[in-house]
Structure 1
């Protein structure tokens, strides 16, 4: 999070998921001593719908009046969560994805619910959250799962540049929360599965694990000196990254992942691991593509 004036932005649509996002965003903005900006995308003008009493209507009525009340309620909820927080609210004409991506430019953090109004119940994560997390120019925090005041901040590590950014974001956040960071690296090198398995003759598991441990140690190089009060624990776990991180999220207060990891196709702006975490994490998820 660079500029001191950069705000935390939260998108609201009146859903219960958005209410959770407002509370999470207010708490985070208070920790970072940032203002909070509540944004609602009002889509009707972009649909070229004629203005009628049922849409804009008289002052305080119609859909725009409803949107104003929605934003006012979100601002009130944020201030109830963090009484000394500077909070502003606004309605911006346009589709949610475009409005939120514009709002993310120059923001310190963008906070969203995991599913908004109108989403199919089969979609655990709404398309807006996935798309915005893939393209936003700031870290994106998605409210989902259980918000825990304790537990570690778990960050997925794979040696990529975005992974390094994710680790730094996790450590900086932990410094403000008084939390421990668990830097978790999942690897899938073959191991012996039983008698007669020839893999140990080809792969030295102890050597491979040592290499993974070195890569994991490199991911936190310099951070322990910059944040001496933040305990950083390193865990190298044999297994698929989505499964390992999902399990780790059960006891975590926050899960942090890079937007695209090592070995993923550059055309996939949101990597398979981070997308999986948005669907399956048991706690809020921060997706870091851009420096925060």
Structure 2
């Protein structure tokens, strides 16, 4: 898509950091940046029967302030980019979900303005990651993350978009790619059939070979498409969520699919993706597949 990168602005420190990240992403892609501020009907703050004028000076100042600061930060982070801004009446989640249909990337902070200040992940970021039509970058973790792009490889068809995005992102930023596939003996595939005794006998070497094949097939063809990207392949035996979150400590960005292999096919955001969104030490990109 050649549309602008979209970033949600609510005036919070988290969203202002997201604006700076989004501006740099837009500059690298050669597209514009669209600042979007969404607000719902303030029924809880308006006395019954009192008029509410959405164009009134008080409300306009309340909105224009954060947007003006956001635009200033965007131009400072990426001088020369085209910046547009819009104010939309509606719930932020729904507004940004609609924006995602024509955007190459939507960027949000991990925590916005909310009375639930103790939440580690804002409701907008979590919901958008599960429903957006384009990749969603949630800015969290270290202020100045450094390191390779970390790709979570699970071998599911739905994760192909995440693999392709990770290669493209690494190439765009001139970064290395760390492709990590974690496996655990308690989740090995059955080899011959239901007659095999579970958790009693398994060939560890055969299991490792199978997981190595999963990693190889997941990356197939993209090394040739992006010859400038150095790939560090890591096959790690351990708990998947713990291993991946731990690896984010040395990454500049982590890329995950929205839903991987699991028994709950109706869930749009898998447990691994949720764990990374809540606990990663660096920014997170969630990429949904059209197959979902």
* TM-score (ref. length: structure 2): 0.89
Instruction: Please say if 1:27 is aligned against 2:24.
Output: yes
Counterpart-to-counterpart distance in 2, 1:152 and 1:288: 18
Runs of at least 5 residues in structure 2 that lack an aligned partner in the other structure: 188-196
**Residue in structure 2 matched with residue 116 of structure 1 by the alignment:** 112
Superposed structure 1 runs of 4+ greater than 2 Å apart? 44-53, 147-150, 198-201
Counterpart-to-counterpart distance in 2, 1:209 and 1:148: 36
**Residue in structure 1 matched with residue 11 of structure 2 by the alignment:** 14
Distance 1:126 1:172, change over 3 A: same
Instruction: Please say if 1:95 is aligned against 2:91.
Output: yes
Counterpart-to-counterpart distance in 1, 2:289 and 2:211: 25
Counterpart-to-counterpart distance in 2, 1:174 and 1:264: 31
* TM-score (ref. length: structure 1): 0.89
Runs of at least 5 residues in structure 1 that lack an aligned partner in the other structure: 192-197
Instruction: Please say if 1:80 is aligned against 2:66.
Output: no
Aligned partners of 2:159 and 2:289 also within 8 Å:
no
Matches within 5 A, 1:26-175: 26-44=23-41, 50-52=50-52, 56-57=55-56, 61-148=57-144, 150-175=146-171
SS class of match (1:266): coil
Counterpart-to-counterpart distance in 2, 1:118 and 1:158: 34
Aligned partners of 1:72 and 1:89 also within 8 Å:
no
**Residue in structure 1 matched with residue 254 of structure 2 by the alignment:** 255
**Number of matched pairs:** 278
Aligned partners of 1:152 and 1:254 also within 8 Å:
yes
Counterpart-to-counterpart distance in 1, 2:126 and 2:43: 22
